Structure 1
């Protein structure tokens, strides 16, 4: 029993060992068979990629399989005013996996790539919309920003489009060499200059601020003149005043500069009525017109040179209109001592001028007992009929002599004609003519 049980045990052990050996020996044999026909999954992917590479190389590259990006439209040119914000747009379809970049063409500066700003210029920005439009932002635009900008896609070969930024600049009038206020002598030549910068180049228009026409030496008169230089030859006093030079180039706002032209000249005096007749007790007003620049000193004086001050009898008045003056002297309640020569005097740094008015009594002037009836009626009645306006708009070189009888003016030429035609004999003609002639001769002698 014992040996038999032990053998059995031995057999059992032997069988077990043999069985174990058989399993272990079969494992290498099975592995040897699988290595020739089995591939892990990542090897299959690699093989697939190799096959795709072979196909792509044979048909023109990877781009033949992946659709390349394209520009949806051209990059538009942009015009921006100085100091504003400019935005350039670049629309791209099928961009992924490529990137869009913006460059400044003239400097070859990379400004942005995708969503990132590359340049250190703080005024540059980039934004991206859902429609695959890439916006290049340039804030506070400067003149140096003008030029070509490129939108670039990093394909191989690279794709790009360009757009131009035009910077417009409103006009600006330069202090130099633009003219400042000018003081010139009458009769000289003047050139007023107005120089402006801007983009596009500004145009210049000249106008007078007071609305008067611009007068040229050839006789032409215009409401405005064009060009950076306004030439005025043989300057006259009526050229004096402020001029406006207006610069514009279509970019608001237009600008202007005020240039004042001052014309210097010595005083001139003009008197409309140099003979004034009035009776005792009446009131008369003497008038004198003067022009001068620089501003003149003006006063009334007696024939002996004594200045006539303001008083109850004498009331001087001066009405100023620029370089023009209207001088008046009111004489109340005429007496015998008030008849005679009165002078209106005008003086400035360039010279002086005076004019004379003779105030006389008609009773002493016409002592004939047989005066012309119409003339006598005019003196007595004080008719309001006017022969000529007393306030001219300009200062004509009028050398005529007129008689003013209080509110009545008598033209000497008409008086002479009436006197001649109303009498046949020579004695009566001389009787009327000689007193007038003597007064005129005396007045002219006093002016010499």
Structure 2
């Protein structure tokens, strides 16, 4: 059977054996000049095997797929029905096998074969690499969590070779995670990102980045929204002024969902149309800087002012006393006012916000005033 198979193969080459035998002492025997090189090709690109044969003479070159035992080409003729296969040569010495639009199914061993007796051949491997891709499922979509809850973000990527996955904050901020004890990292390796007891500082866009050395790398953006009730911070709760002065009262509110913010004087809501005042607010994400400008202090503007912040999770307010200057006040004070509900993990939040010197707030609204009446 082996001899029959070899005979059929030679017949396909169109050889006359007795001619080869009679002239074997005078006809040069073909030989390979270089070895057949392995190829690594990206999905969708073209793979080209190169087979260099010296003194081919009347012999022929065939290309075969080894693992499927498929004859692809003989000489300049394409035998396979695969339209992505092509063959050409340069002076019948350098032979090229082209595989267009490479697919993963093309991965395997290929042979350049000469119909000599005995047969000569050399083989090489085609490896097909696939750039990374991020799967919609089970990769996380945008997340909404209450402050203090645990959040898990997942990123599923595939490709050849298997991609590595890195998580990082889109804005470049450090990741306050517990994946690595209490350390803060600019990025975290792994398909799963664990965020323990999330705070407002965790809020923002996270990037899942997958790469495997095959360009391009890919990423997916996952938005984390953290909900928490309002808290209010007031730098000065007692402000003295003379009649005719212009005074600014300031409150700092943090809340998400975004809060409704307004001012009252002596428990009466101050409207935007009140000519005595000018109300402004500067929003930065979940933070709002509230300012009330008293254009001209008068008898009817002294009293107790409240800045109030409300959202679906709660409400809070802070008070500022505007009094007529009848003495010298030597110290202003700092105060934070929180919602009546316990705000989760405030101490942790303050530790993370090392940039501020604020004291942990108390829902009792503690403050100290020291003054001397002259």
TM-score using structure 1 length? 0.69
Q: Partners in 2 of 1:62 and 1:116 — Cα distance?
A: 27
Q: Partners in 2 of 1:173 and 1:89 — Cα distance?
A: 35
Q: Displacement of 1:402 after TM fit?
A: 6.1
What is aligned with 1:311? 274
What is aligned with 1:262? 225
SS at match of 1:287: strand
What is aligned with 1:144? 105
Q: Displacement of 1:62 after TM fit?
A: 6.5
SS at match of 1:215: coil
Q: Partners in 1 of 2:134 and 2:43 — Cα distance?
A: 16
What is aligned with 1:445? none
Structure with greater helix percent: 1
Q: Displacement of 1:158 after TM fit?
A: 2.1
What is aligned with 1:242? 205
Q: Displacement of 1:260 after TM fit?
A: 0.9
Q: Partners in 1 of 2:359 and 2:171 — Cα distance?
A: 23
SS at match of 1:356: strand
Deviating more after overlay: 117-126 vs 223-232? 223-232
Q: Partners in 1 of 2:232 and 2:359 — Cα distance?
A: 11
1:130 to 68, 78, 91: 91
Q: Does 1:92 align with 2:53?
A: yes
Structure with greater strand percent: 2
Q: Does 1:351 align with 2:317?
A: no
Q: Partners in 1 of 2:84 and 2:359 — Cα distance?
A: 68
CA RMSD of aligned residues (A): 2.6
Q: Partners in 2 of 1:387 and 1:82 — Cα distance?
A: 69
8 Å contact from structure 1 (residues 273, 402) kept in 2: no
Q: Partners in 2 of 1:174 and 1:251 — Cα distance?
A: 17
What is aligned with 2:283? 320
Q: Partners in 2 of 1:71 and 1:127 — Cα distance?
A: 17
Q: For each residue in 1:86-132, what CA deviation from the matched residue of structure 2 results, as whole angstroms up to 9, or x when unmatched?
A: 10011222323322111111111111011100011111000111261
What is aligned with 2:38? 77
Q: Partners in 1 of 2:241 and 2:37 — Cα distance?
A: 88
Q: For each residue in 1:323-346, what CA deviation from the matched residue of structure 2 results, as whole angstroms up to 9, or x when unmatched?
A: 100001111222222221111111
Q: Displacement of 1:225 after TM fit?
A: 1.4
Q: For each residue in 1:60-88, what CA deviation from the matched residue of structure 2 results, as whole angstroms up to 9, or x when unmatched?
A: x8746644322222111112122111100
* Structure number with bigger Rg: 1
Q: Partners in 1 of 2:262 and 2:67 — Cα distance?
A: 75
1:157 to 109, 112, 118: 118
What is aligned with 1:401? 367
List runs of 5+ in structure 2 lacking aligned partners.
1-17, 336-352
8 Å contact from structure 2 (residues 249, 291) kept in 1: yes
TM-score using structure 2 length? 0.81
What is aligned with 1:170? 131
2:63 to 102, 109, 116: 102
Q: Partners in 2 of 1:251 and 1:389 — Cα distance?
A: 56
1:210 to 146, 156, 171: 171
Q: Displacement of 1:362 after TM fit?
A: 2.9
8 Å contact from structure 1 (residues 111, 124) kept in 2: yes
Q: Displacement of 1:212 after TM fit?
A: 1.3
What is aligned with 1:342? 305
SS at match of 2:269: coil
Q: For each residue in 1:378-403, what CA deviation from the matched residue of structure 2 results, as whole angstroms up to 9, or x when unmatched?
A: 8xxxxxxx98899x964543566366
Q: Partners in 1 of 2:119 and 2:195 — Cα distance?
A: 63
8 Å contact from structure 1 (residues 276, 359) kept in 2: yes
**CA 248–313 in structure 1, closer or farther in 2 if over 3 Å, else same:** same
